[in-house]
Amino acid sequence: MRGARTARTTTDYEADTGRIAGLPVRRHHVLLIAWTVLWFFLVEPSGGFSWHYLRQGEQLLFSKQPDGGLSLYAHHPELQIGPVSLAAARLTAPLSPHIGQLVAEAAMSALGLVMLVLIGRTAALYYLGTGTNHRRLQQRLLIAGLAFIPMWVEVSVRFAHLDDVLALFFTTLAAHALARGKPTQVAIFLALAVDSKPWAIAFAPLILALPRPNWLRTALWFAGLVAVAWLPFYLGNLDTLAAAKFTIPNQPASALRWFGVTDPSTPWWDRPTQFALGLGLGSIAVWRGRWPAVVLVGANARILLDPSVYTYYTASILLGTLLWDAVGQKRLVPWWSWIALAALYGGTLAIPSDSARGLVRLAFVVVSTAYVLLWPTQQTRRPRPPADDPGAGRGRAGRRRERVLVGAGH
């Protein structure tokens, strides 16, 4: 009888977690791994478009050349890559250029799968104590992940932008730490994101989603770690300040064109406005009780005001929609992930007019931002039952069972 109960318990556990019998993986993980491998081999032959920037940057950073070391950004403002990313790229230095690039692309692709698991666990923690259907959550993550992976391979393989990859990876870790109630980790991971790519500053409002008593200490940790990474370059060569004024062409398909901005390159006010808008929208999202929308609205601010329209930008949008679809709402079908993929990536391939593509970008930003900030959503958290509630014991037992499922991974 005991053996029968044990077998039944094991079967129930595997059914609840989606675990494949005897293996430490789940069915949706296997599908997402296969999907990633397929896209990797489709894209890799034409991959590594920007990897040479990482190799150049890490060689200069660790060299004694006059235009390297702490003078790197002063002499090469085109390398808008954070020092953490350059240090990570240094790990491939002992390898040949081709092998190093291949290893980096494979590692960055794998990080996308790790992020999917982390977001699944973040969602499970966020809904802990609300009677979450974990199988439904896994299905939602699978459907959203199928949209996320093509854009992740775009940034990690086709363009090989290690800086963007690390910025988004550390931001995912920060969101997971937030769900776990770890304020110091939130600060560390957000700082590492900014130290990997400066535009990740738009995700800093995640700090405001912590309990108010943690705000000051977390903000000080965050500011201090950002300063540790960037301040030496400004003190080592004051001309580094000019790197912040680096401009890129204002492309005809940018949403900026619809605001009447026809400057041939980045307007002087564009970057500060971009950062301010991202921080402001993220703060509103937290104030509205919707911190899972912070990444989406921050990424929206980037593509709304950026003069360029590179497809790898869409990876940050897909991370934002993935967080919103998995954590911010309970619908089985993650519509926003697929809408973003179709509008921003599919539109790039299918719409011949530059002006029309810019309009699509503008429309997506406006509609998705308005939706996540203003559209009524279901209450995601339920109050814990008081100790004298007759059902409190059952609730605690249910929560204990959910914790087991959370710890098992998603």
- Chain segment 58-73, per-residue pLDDT in tens: 999 999 899 999 999 9
Q: Read off the pLDDT band of 20 (50, 70, 90).
A: low
How many whole angstroms separate alpha carbon 40 and alpha carbon 201? 29
How many whole angstroms separate alpha carbon 297 and alpha carbon 275? 11
pLDDT tens-digit series, residues 270-284:
999 999 999 999 999
Q: What is the mean pLDDT of residues 210-218?
A: 97
Q: What is the mean pLDDT of residues 168-196?
A: 98
| Residues in CB range of 192: below 8 A, 6 or more apart | 84, 166, 170, 225
Ranked by mean pLDDT, which of 4-13, 23-32, 60-69, 181-190 comes out on top? 181-190
- CA 42 vs CA 64, 110, 313, 316: distances in Å: 39, 16, 20, 21
Other CB atoms closer than 10 Å to residue 35's CB: what's the count? Answer: 18
**Could you tell me the sign of the dihedral formed by the alpha carbons of 283, 286, 290, 294, in that order?**
positive
| Residues in CB range of 80: below 8 A, 6 or more apart | 163, 197, 198, 243, 246
What's the pLDDT at 5? 46
How many whole angstroms separate alpha carbon 295 and alpha carbon 287? 14
What's the pLDDT at 74? 94
Q: Read off the pLDDT band of 394 (50, 70, 90).
A: very low
What's the pLDDT at 410? 64
Answer for the pair 14, 25: CB distance below 8 angstroms, yes or no: no
Q: What residues does 249 pair with on adjacent strands?
A: 265
What's the pLDDT at 378? 64
How many whole angstroms separate alpha carbon 228 and alpha carbon 389? 50
**Could you tell me the sign of the dihedral formed by the alpha carbons of 148, 165, 114, 293, in that order?**
negative
What's the pLDDT at 397? 44
How many whole angstroms separate alpha carbon 17 and alpha carbon 404? 10
Query: What is the token pair recorded at 72?
Result: 């790197």
pLDDT tens-digit series, residues 241-256:
888 888 899 999 999 9
How many whole angstroms separate alpha carbon 19 and alpha carbon 125? 19
* pLDDT, mean over the chain: 88
DSSP state of 249: B
How many whole angstroms separate alpha carbon 351 and alpha carbon 372? 26
- CA 94 vs CA 59, 97, 108, 135: distances in Å: 12, 9, 18, 44
1 vs 325, residue with greater confidence: 325
**Could you tell me the sign of the dihedral formed by the alpha carbons of 327, 206, 157, 101, in that order?**
negative
194 vs 243, residue with greater confidence: 194
Inform me whether the pLDDT recorded for 232 exceeds 60. yes
- CA 139 vs CA 45, 115, 171: distances in Å: 31, 16, 23
pTM of the model: 0.89
How many whole angstroms separate alpha carbon 279 and alpha carbon 397? 40
What's the pLDDT at 299? 97
What's the pLDDT at 50? 95
Q: What is the mean pLDDT of residues 22-43?
A: 87
Q: Read off the pLDDT band of 135 (50, 70, 90).
A: confident
Query: For the residues of 31-84, what is the DSSP string, one character each?
Result: HHHHHHHHHHHHHGGG--TTHHHHHHHHHHHTS-STTSGGGHHHH-TT----HH
What's the pLDDT at 408? 47
| Residues in CB range of 171: below 8 A, 6 or more apart | 189, 190, 193, 200, 203, 206, 295, 319
What's the pLDDT at 23? 54
Q: Read off the pLDDT band of 17 (50, 70, 90).
A: low
What 3-state DSSP class applies to 26? Answer: strand
How deeply is 66 buried, as exposed, middle or buried, from its count of CB atoms within 10 A (0-12, 13-18, 19+)?
Answer: exposed
Q: What is the mean pLDDT of residues 232-243?
A: 88
Domain ranges within the chain, ordered by starting residue: 49-378
What's the pLDDT at 238? 87
Other CB atoms closer than 10 Å to residue 259's CB: what's the count? Answer: 12
How deeply is 337 buried, as exposed, middle or buried, from its count of CB atoms within 10 A (0-12, 13-18, 19+)?
Answer: buried
Looking at 19-23, 32-36, 339-343, which range is the least confident one? 19-23
pLDDT tens-digit series, residues 142-155:
999 999 999 999 99
Overall size of the chain counted in residues: 410
pLDDT tens-digit series, residues 90-109:
999 999 999 999 999 999 99
Answer for the pair 144, 322: CB distance below 8 angstroms, yes or no: yes
How many whole angstroms separate alpha carbon 337 and alpha carbon 319? 9
Answer for the pair 96, 81: CB distance below 8 angstroms, yes or no: no
pLDDT tens-digit series, residues 267-317:
999 999 999 999 999 999 999 999 999 999 999 999 999 999 999 999 999
